[in-house]
């Protein structure tokens, strides 16, 4: 899989080739990334051109055709004749941030090493480690590349070692940099905001620097740590696309520079605006890992390889390959206004409807009756739950349901016993009043004493009852990132140390409680990233539960993340976030495209609605393995129509959504994708939409189990019957013969 010949490293498998070249014995150049090559013989060698104002290093001062400013580098340096975005910046004790990395050695070994204190991919692979040394001996950088036989993903990271006798300070440390030979790309990224996460944005690369980033101490609702560079004609099913997804949950930066001579540089890693790291002699610093993905089969090919890679090489634990329970969460049903009787009534109704898990959300602890108090006080509110968590959990389990619980361990309220005892435990800047968000302050997870408190508090809660599921929330972003325990010169380490502390806590708790299904949350999707998936196999996708909004949110999320990782629930109408009224069938089908559940007061549903829910729940239990663990394909994306396909060896499920009805429109034909042309697919269920407000349960139209060969479904397609109603949702369920 990895060859070294003629001063070149050729990483290859059945999906891609990646070529690195050693030039002049010491410079590391990026030569190729794309479709797999039998052998790299350099059919398009680098051209030596005298470029004005592109400087030369001292060894090449009379060779004006050799300048780092115009050559494709593998891990570019700042200030040594290259004026483009650097991959790293190291400040030496004399104050300079100029350095030069030269090739020193390499080793190739089987397997995938873990990264110290960081989430990272794992599995059978082959790893190349290249050693680069600073020309003056101040530090060494080890670049790591792991290739897997079953995946187009290349896992990259960098490790810095202080080899000098003095302190050095890392000001910037990217996980990877890629130099492309042209700029004929379109950038695809995922932008948004709270309750509006991961909207797909596509724009042409233009001269200059494009950046998406977060300084919020979290990967954020606003920008996902993901980017793709696609050819201008690349679509869902054809064309080449290159992508990078950072396996990290904190502040990040992704920059794309299209420079003067028509080349493109991509740099991804920690955000240097809120990062610095001091290394004493002999100390190391490890960057987060980035998953680099190449697809020659369009955006669906890209998504499917990301999904497979994360499920097989990143997600861990007993639940990674298991279907997830159908839940009801009491948050939008009761908010803070609940007691034991209300929750037990929800459990009774959930049992009757065929649901499998009841989740008790915020408000069960301390004196928590609103969001002004009690975060940090992780003991039961006896007024609401007189029999404690154990008594409530027992009642829920008696009804044949699993029991889940909400926690927010990283936060504290001023009105709490914890804050009154330890006001110094928060992130805060001396002499300034702290900033608030949702009346919360952030505990300083860079401190060992704070981490110990959280660990012990959560251990006590998780052990106090039979808890089957934990929703781990984080409801504000980071301000005043100052730690009372760190010296002055290390304060810019606070954000990253916080994240390392969080990972330590999650690693210990998920290992100690392997029978708990953990779901992460950050005001919905504010920390939906590959780093969290390493510890928690699903994430609440968004606090926006409106079905129309969720079409865009879940489509964007699925560009990089598996369906089984996406929390999706049916909520009430009018919707609590946008006030929209949509049919139960549309809300249900959208929520089925994830870890399905309900987020409303099911006890207040009409008998007709409850009958519908029973039908939908029975259907979902049948098709759940295909949706959650099968191959996901986007058939239509965006605008007024969406269509999703889920397929495995035994079943194909197709969903089609039309937001607004339009006059004189043609009949929509859906051409399926990725089927076996020679196999028969038998239509077992077809559910067309109902008009808004029509009662009577889901409509079913029998096709007398007609069977169609895969080639017909892919080339001729399915017709969605015309219906004159807004918010239409269709479903077809085929069995594979």
Q: Which residues does the annotation mark as catalytic?
A: 473, 543
Determine contact, residues 82/28, Cβ cutoff 8 Å.
Answer: no
Cβ neighbours of residue 418 closer than 8 Å, sequence gap 6 or more: 375, 376, 377, 412, 425, 453
Helix axes 388-398 and 340-353, enclosed angle (nearest 10): 20
- Cite the beta strand spans of 231-333 per DSSP E: 241-247, 252-258, 264-270, 277-279, 284-286, 289-295, 327-329
Q: By C-alpha distance, which of 347, 339, 346, 348 is closest to 387?
A: 339
CB-side exposure of 321: number of CA atoms within 13 Å?
5
Q: Which two tokens stand for residue 167?
A: 């302190």
Cβ neighbours of residue 96 closer than 8 Å, sequence gap 6 or more: none
State the greatest distance between any 2 C-alpha atoms of the chain, in Å, as a whole number: 86
Q: Which two tokens stand for residue 355?
A: 């649901």
Q: Is the peptide bond before 574 cis (omega within 30 degrees of 0)?
A: yes
Phi first, then psi, for residue 696 (nearest 5°) are: 120, 10
DSSP state of 441: E
Determine contact, residues 565/538, Cβ cutoff 8 Å.
Answer: yes
Distances (CA, A) of 729 to 587, 634, 686: 9, 15, 11
CA distance 39 to 656: 44
CA distance 20 to 8: 6
Determine contact, residues 437/503, Cβ cutoff 8 Å.
Answer: no
Residue in the block written with tokens 């050559």 = 71
Residue 631's beta-bridge partner residues?
A: 647
Distances (CA, A) of 194 to 447, 553, 599: 29, 11, 18
Q: By C-alpha distance, which of 19, 312, 271, 314 is closest to 145?
A: 19
Cβ neighbours of residue 120 closer than 8 Å, sequence gap 6 or more: 112, 114, 155, 157, 247, 289, 314, 534
Q: Which two tokens stand for residue 117?
A: 């204190």
Q: By C-alpha distance, which of 655, 645, 525 is closest to 590?
A: 655
Residue 441's beta-bridge partner residues?
A: 412
Phi first, then psi, for residue 40 (nearest 5°) are: -100, 115
Alpha-carbon Rg of the chain, whole angstroms? 27
Residue in the block written with tokens 């007189």 = 386
Number of other residues whose CB lies within 10 A of the CB of residue 488? 6
The dihedral through the CA atoms of 472, 477, 482, 486 has a sign that is positive
Number of other residues whose CB lies within 10 A of the CB of residue 420? 11
């Amino acid at each position: 899989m990895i060859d070294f010949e003629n001063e070149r490293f050729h990483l290859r498998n059945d999906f891609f080739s990646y070529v690195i070249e050693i030039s002049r014995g010491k410079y590391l150049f990026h030569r190729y990334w794309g479709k797999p090559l039998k052998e790299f013989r350099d059919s398009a060698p680098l051209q030596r051109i005298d470029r004005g104002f592109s400087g030369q290093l001292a060894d090449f001062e009379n060779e004006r055709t050799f300048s780092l400013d115009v050559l494709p580098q593998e891990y570019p340096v700042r200030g040594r004749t290259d004026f483009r975005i650097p991959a790293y910046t190291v400040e030496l004790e004399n104050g300079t941030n100029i350095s030069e990395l030269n090739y020193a050695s390499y080793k190739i070994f089987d397997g995938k090493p873990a990264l110290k204190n960081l989430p990272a991919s794992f599995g059978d692979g082959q790893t190349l480690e290249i050693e680069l040394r600073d020309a003056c001996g101040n530090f060494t950088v080890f670049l790591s590349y792991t290739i897997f036989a079953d995946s187009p993903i290349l896992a990259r990271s960098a490790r810095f070692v202080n080899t000098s006798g003095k302190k050095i300070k890392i000001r910037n440390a990217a996980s990877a940099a890629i130099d492309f030979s042209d700029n004929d790309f379109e950038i695809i990224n995922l932008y948004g905001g709270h309750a509006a996460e991961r909207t797909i944005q596509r724009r042409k690369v233009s001269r200059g620097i494009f950046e998406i980033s977060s300084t919020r101490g979290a990967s954020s609702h606003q920008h996902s740590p993901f980017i793709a560079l696609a050819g201008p004609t690349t679509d869902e099913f054809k064309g080449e696309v290159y992508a990078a997804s950072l396996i990290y949950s904190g502040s990040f930066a992704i920059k794309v520079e299209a420079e003067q001579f028509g080349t493109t540089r991509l740099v991804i890693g920690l955000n240097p605006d809120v990062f610095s790291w001091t290394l004493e002699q002999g100390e190391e610093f490890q960057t987060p890992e980035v998953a680099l993905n190449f697809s020659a089969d369009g955006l669906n090919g890209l998504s499917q390889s990301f999904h497979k890679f994360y499920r097989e090489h990143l997600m861990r634990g007993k639940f990674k390959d298991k279907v997830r329970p159908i839940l009801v969460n009491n948050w939008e049903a009761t908010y803070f206004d609940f007691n034991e009787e209300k929750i037990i009534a929800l459990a009774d109704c959930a049992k009757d409807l065929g649901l499998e898990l009841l989740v008790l959300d915020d408000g069960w602890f301390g004196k928590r009756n609103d969001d002004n108090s009690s975060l940090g006080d992780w003991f039961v509110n006896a007024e609401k739950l007189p029999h404690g968590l154990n008594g409530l959990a027992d009642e829920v389990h008696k009804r044949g349901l699993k029991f889940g619980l909400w926690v927010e361990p990283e936060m504290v309220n001023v009105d709490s016993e914890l804050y009154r005892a330890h006001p110094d435990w928060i992130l805060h800047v001396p002499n300034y009043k702290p900033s608030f968000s949702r009346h919360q302050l952030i505990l300083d997870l860079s401190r060992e004493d704070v981490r110990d408190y959280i660990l012990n508090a959560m251990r006590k809660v998780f052990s106090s009852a039979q808890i089957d599921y934990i929703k781990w929330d984080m409801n504000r972003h980071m301000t005043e990132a100052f730690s009372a325990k760190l010296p002055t010169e290390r304060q810019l380490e606070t954000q990253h140390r916080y994240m390392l502390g969080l990972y330590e806590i999650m690693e210990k708790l998920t290992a100690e409680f392997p029978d708990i299904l953990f779901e992460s949350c950050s005001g919905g999707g504010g920390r939906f990233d590959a780093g969290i998936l390493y510890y928690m196999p699903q994430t609440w996708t968004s606090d926006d539960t409106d079905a129309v909004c969720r079409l865009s949110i879940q489509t964007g999320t699925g560009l990089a993340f598996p369906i089984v990782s996406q929390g999706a629930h049916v909520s009430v109408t009018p919707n609590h976030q946008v006030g929209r009224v949509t049919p139960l069938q549309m809300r249900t089908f959208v929520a089925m495209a994830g870890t399905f559940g309900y987020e409303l007061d099911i006890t207040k549903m009409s008998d007709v609605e409850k009958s519908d829910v029973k039908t939908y729940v029975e259907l979902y239990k049948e098709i759940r393995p295909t949706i959650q663990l099968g191959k996901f394909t986007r058939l239509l994306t965006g605008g007024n129509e969406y269509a999703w396909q889920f397929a495995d060896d035994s079943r194909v499920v197709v969903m089609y959504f039309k937001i607004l009805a339009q006059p004189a429109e043609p009949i929509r034909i859906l051409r399926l994708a990725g089927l076996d042309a020679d196999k028969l697919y038998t239509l077992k269920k077809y559910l067309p939409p109902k008009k808004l407000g029509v009662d009577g349960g889901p409509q079913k139209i029998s096709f007398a189990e007609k069977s169609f060969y895969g080639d017909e479904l892919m080339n001729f397609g399915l017709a969605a019957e015309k219906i004159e109603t807004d918010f239409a949702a269709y479903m077809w369920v085929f069995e594979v013969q």
